[in-house]
Amino acid sequence: MNVENQPLVEPSKILLPSMHFKLGLIKKLCKGLETKTSRLYFLREMFSRLSEAKLKEGIFIGTQIRELIKDEYFYTLLQGDEKAAWGNFKFVVKGFLGKRRIQNFEELVNNLL
């Protein structure tokens, strides 16, 4: 009712920027980690300059997410559902949020969720 002009694009066709999507996913993954585990200690050591509050909330920047994806040791620390979620997260980042989208990106996102 308060809009003066009609929007240029339909609201249903607006996608979230990929960086916001990626940051939201990593935040959910970090919140799912238990507080006193080797995985959280590893993240503390890897990102020693990151505050405790940001670490618990899973607030990372893009370069930190890329570092974490490249690190194979973090993947070995994960167990069960965490390992499956991390694997799907990596596939989504590489296949959906990258420069090229693979054809089954909808399936990747559904698997992650």
* Cβ contacts of 59 within 8 Å, gap of 6 or more: 23, 27
Give pLDDT tens digits for 13-30. 766 556 666 677 777 777
User: What residue segments make up the domains of the chain, in order of their start?
Assistant: 16-112
Residue with tokens 């399936």: 107
pLDDT value for 19: 60
Structure tokens at 47: 């990102």
The structure's pTM equals 0.63
pLDDT value for 27: 77
